[in-house]
Structures are given as structure tokens and as C-alpha cells.
A and B are shown apart, each in its own frame.
Chain A
Amino acid sequence: MTENGSPEEGLSRRGFLTWAIAGLGAFIAAALGATGTGYFISPAFGKREEDWVDLGLAKGFKQNEPLKVDFVERKRDAWATVERRSSAWVVTPNGREFVAFNPRCTHLGCPYRWSSEKKEFLCPCHTAVFDIDGRVVSGPPPRPLDRFPTKVVGGRLLIQPAASKEAA
């Protein structure tokens, strides 16, 4: 057994060991690098969780009469669960289709109210006026009222309050 082998054999003992160490090192670096990088950048590909909030029986909403519904939004924040008090204005033209408005005026985020005399949404901050479909009637708002996605499941009205923040 020779220590270094002869060059004619093509691969010497030293050369073999060099390649073996380099190969194993590259394998370990790749395995650790790939998983470590995946771990580090995985938030970039995470899907936003759909958080639907139950607002109660759909039958409970009167037609063409906006109702402000307060609810507690329970959201998962990584390992923690956070609760946030929030609300929405719910409008239904027929008891089957529902619209849920973000309760913040699209101008500067003030909470507005429904005037049952004028049949309009009125914002106290800068006298913005919206109609029952959320369209701007007058005042400074740049766009109609923001809407939360809604759906009716098993006779109960569900809304997704987190979604409109991205649209805004």
C-alpha cells in the first residue's frame, strides 16, 4: 500500500480524500443551506389565513336598514391569538345578499353613522355623505366605502374583516 499512489493510476489517495472531503462538505453545506434558507424565507410564501367572523343569523337583518354590528375578531398572530374589537355596517336589499361596509370613512378613517331620516351614511369629521350602497354622495372621500367579503353559510352571515385592509 503506497501512501500517495502513483500518478499513473489517475487518482491518488490524497486526491481521493480531497474530493471526498469536498464532496461531503458540499453535501452538508447544501442540505443545511437549502433548509436554512427555506426556513428563513418561508414567510414570503405563507398564505394569509382566512378569518371569517360569524355575525349571527342572516334572517335577523332587516331589509334596506343598515345595522352596525360589533364583533370580536380573533386572529392568529404566529403562535399567539389576538382579539380585536371591531364592527361593520351590514346592509341587505333582500335578506339573501349582504354587503358589509368597513366602518371607517374612506377619507380619513373616521367612524360614520347611518341617518335613518336622510337614508344616508354621514361622517361627522368632514361632512362626507354616502348612500346606502356606499357610493360617495358628497364630501372629500376619494372612493366608495370599503367592503368586507361576505357569505351566508347555514343561514348565518359570515364576513372577513381582514381582507379589506389589503384593498385599502
Chain B
Amino acid sequence: MTPRACWDWACERTGLDRVWDALMARHIPEARGPVAWFYALGSATLFVFTLQAVTGALLAMNYVPSPDHAYDSVRFIGSQVLFGRFIRGLHHWGASAMVILVALHMLRVYFMAAYKYPREATWIVGVTLFTLVMGFSFTGYLLPWDQKAYWATMVGTSIAGQTPVIGPYMSKVLLGGAEMGAATMTRFYALHVLVLPMVTAAALGAHLFLVVWHGISEPPRRKEQGS
């Protein structure tokens, strides 16, 4: 079978060509100059998220979420595993890029008023995704179990502990006990690699569906006369 015949075979049985057209051949607003680049921020975020998923899965193969071994296993990845430093570097810098890109993406949508009718649902899911990215950052920051990780999480959970009335309980739920330790690490790790990715995948699917379904909003036009 030629590639063409394979493609036709698959299209006839799955409607793949129509999915492809809906995703790749859809109409997008005409934007010129530097402004056009702002429209790439969402795709850039999606790319970095994929990168984080791939490098994260690889890192999890050699990582132990336990105070005994976390730091040593991270060092092991960096010094003993082939390309380990590179893969961990991608995950490390990708995490920062993720936060920067979602923030810029959000600002783009806000300043271009793209969140308005009929795209409110896309915005709401987007804000949820932003919160999830913050969750990834917070839980992932603890995992190397170095001084920075330890004290940053100490500060973060203490902030949660300052909430009136329920604060002490929230702090204990986050820490998995009264103090930071082994239970905190396994808890953060489970959130980082199981809970958050699953919720994010679902929200991401909804977000992308809505983006394609509504189409991309036009860039705002300058009024001819002063407002």
C-alpha cells in the first residue's frame, strides 16, 4: 500500500481528513506584523506542555519521591544517565517557559478582548488551565528536594496556613501531616504526575475544542474617529 492509499483507508474509516481540515485548514484572522506573533502563544504553550509531558515521563523513570533518595536520584539523572542532564534541563526550563507563556497568552487574550461573547467558556477553561499550571509549578518545585525546594514549599504551605479558620487544616492537607516530610513528597509527586496531568488533559481538550469550534477572534480594530 502506498502512503496515499493508507491515508485514504484511514480517512474512510475515521474521518481523519475532516479532523485534519478542521484543525489545520481552518480560517484564522488576518493579522500582520508583530501582532500576528501573539496568536502563536497558545500553540507555544501547547508545545511546551507536550515537551513537559515527554521529559517528565522520562525523568519519572529514574526519580524516587522520598526524602531518602529524591536528591540522590536527581543527581543520578544528571550525572549517570545518558542525556539525563539534557532531559532534566528541558523539564526545568520548560517549567519556567510554561508559566511565562501561559501568562503572556492570557494577557494577549485579555488585551485583545478575545474573552468576550461568545468565547467566555474558552476563557473560563483557560483560567482553570492557568491555575493548573500554577499547581504543576508548586508541586514540581519540591521534587528535587534541595534547599530551595524545601524552603519554597515551607513558605508556600505556610501561606496556605495563614488562611482564617481553615488555614491550619489546609496546611496539614498539603503537607500530608503536621510537618513536611516523606508524606509531603509522595503527595506532591502524586499530584504532579497523576492528578494534575489528568485534569489538565481534560481541560486542555475542552479548551482546544472551544478554540476550534468558535474560531479565532479578530484582532481589535482601531476606531476611525476618536471614541
Contacts and interface: CB of A to CB of B under 8 A. Distances in A.
A and B are interacting partners: yes
B217 interface: no
Contacts, number: 38
Interface string A5-25: 000000000000000000000
Given A42-B82, A78-B62, A79-B64, A36 B87 contact: yes
18 contacts: A32-B51, A32-B54, A35-B83, A36-B54, A36-B55, A36-B58, A36-B87, A39-B58, A39-B84, A40-B58, A42-B83, A78-B62, A78-B73, A79-B64, A79-B69, A79-B76, A80-B69, A80-B72
A78 B80 CA distance: 9
Contacts of A56: none
Contacts of A45: 82
Given A40-B61, A42-B81, A35 B72 contact: no
B108 interface: no
Contacts of B80: 78
Given A35-B86, A38-B82, A42-B82, 7 more contacts: A35-B83, A35-B87, A42-B83, A78-B62, A78-B76, A79-B64, A79-B69
Contacts of B81: 39, 42
Given A32-B54, A79-B75, A79-B76, A39 B64 contact: no
- 10 shortest A-B CB distances, which residue pairs? A42-B82, A79-B76, A79-B72, A35-B83, A79-B73, A39-B83, A38-B82, A38-B83, A39-B58, A39-B87
Contact of B82 (A32, A39, A80): A39
A34 to B, nearest CB: 8
Tell me if B's interface is mostly helix, strand, loop or mixed.
helix
A45 B83 CA distance: 13
B93 to A, nearest CB: 14
Interface in B66-96: 69, 72-73, 75-76, 80-84, 86-87, 90
A75 to B, nearest CB: 15
A118 B83 CA distance: 58
Contacts of A42: 81-83
Contacts of B54: 32, 36
A79 B58 CA distance: 16
Interface string B194-205: 000000000000
Interface in B18-65: 51, 54-55, 58, 61-62, 64
Nearest to B84: A39
Contacts of A80: 69, 72
Contacts of B51: 32
A133 to B, nearest CB: 40
Contacts of B62: 78-79
A32 B62 CA distance: 18
